[in-house]
Amino acid sequence: METITTPSGVTLAFDRFVGGAAGTVILIGGAFGYRKFPKMVELAEKLADEYKLTVINYDRRGRGDSTDSPGVYDVENEIEDIAALVAAAGGSAALFGWSSGAGLALRAANSGRIPGITGVVAFEPPFVVNRQEFVPAKDLEVKLHQLVASGNRGKTVSFYMTKAMGVPRAFVAVMRLTPFWKELKATANSTPHDWAVMKDFMRGESLRPADWAGVTVPTLVLAGGSSGRLLRNGARAIAEVLPTAKHVEVAKLSHNPKIDLLAPPAGEFLVGLARKADQ
The DSSP-derived string for 108-144 is: HHHHSS-TTEEEEEEE------SSSS----TTHHHHH
Q: What is the mean pLDDT of residues 133-154?
A: 94
Checking if the pLDDT of 279 tops 60, the result is: no
The tens digit of pLDDT for each residue in 56-102 reads 999 999 999 999 999 999 999 999 999 999 999 999 999 999 999 99
CA 7 and chain centroid, separation:
22
Residue 231, burial from CB neighbour count under 10 angstroms (0-12, 13-18, 19+): buried
Distances (CA, A) of 84 to 30, 80, 92: 19, 6, 11
The single-letter code of the amino acid at 144 is L
| Per-residue pLDDT tens over the stretch 158-211 | 999 999 999 999 999 999 999 999 999 999 999 999 999 999 999 999 999 999
What is the Cα–Cα distance from 86 to 52, expressed in whole angstroms? 18
Q: What pLDDT sits at residue 127?
A: 98
67: three-class secondary structure by DSSP: coil
List of domains in the chain:
2-127+206-278 (3.40.50.1820), 140-196 (no CATH)
Q: Percent of the chain having pLDDT more than 70?
A: 99
pLDDT band at 138 (very low <50, low <70, confident <90, very high): confident
3-class secondary-structure state, position 247: strand
